[in-house]
Amino acid sequence: MKRLALTALVGASLLGCAAEPVKLQQNRSYILEWIGERPLMDYSHLTITLGEDGRAYGNGGCNHWFAPYTLEGDKLSFGKIGSTRKMCAPAVMEQEKRFMQALENVQRWDVSPIEQMRFWPAEGKPLRWWLEEG
């Protein structure tokens, strides 16, 4: 009888853990892995932080960027993006431009089966993010 009760208790506690959905976290940094169909260049470090005040910001690979955003359920959108104006290698600048254009077209977010955050445009592949450790 004790074994049955213990098994039921362990099963119920695991069910509680599995039922909690992964959420998009504000005031935490995410690191970009893919822009649509293309992975980032080696040693790129593109980030995003969604502030609780409705402002997003991060690193675009060369420049720091910032933009207003709206988050309502699974709907996510970004306003006009601003950035610093440093110049970097042409390939880095091209990647940064693709990133900012993709970000301005985001319409919703979800979580992949491997718990990766995805920001989806109206058409095409998503921006794919990992929560930054630390």
pLDDT one-digit tens code per residue, 55-94: 999 999 999 999 999 999 999 999 999 999 999 999 999 9
* Residue 56 CB coordination number (10 Å): 21
* Pairwise CA distance, residues 66 & 49, whole Å: 9
How many angstroms separate the CA atoms of 110 and 120, rounded?
Answer: 8
Question: Domain count of the chain?
Answer: 1
For residues 34 and 40, the answer to whether their CB atoms sit within 8 Å is yes
SS3 14: helix
Q: Is residue 89 part of a domain?
A: yes
pLDDT at 20: 61
CATH number at residue 104: 2.40.128.270
Q: Is residue 106 part of a domain?
A: yes
**Residue 6 placed within a domain:** no
For residues 56 and 48, is the Cβ–Cβ distance under 8 A? yes
Sign of CA dihedral 113, 105, 68, 56: positive
pLDDT greater at residue 3 or residue 107 = 107
**C-beta separation of 120 from 107 below 8 A:** yes
Percent of the chain with pLDDT over 70: 83
What DSSP designation does 16 have? H
The whole domain housing 65 covers 28-131
Biggest alpha carbon distance in the chain? 71
pTM equals 0.81
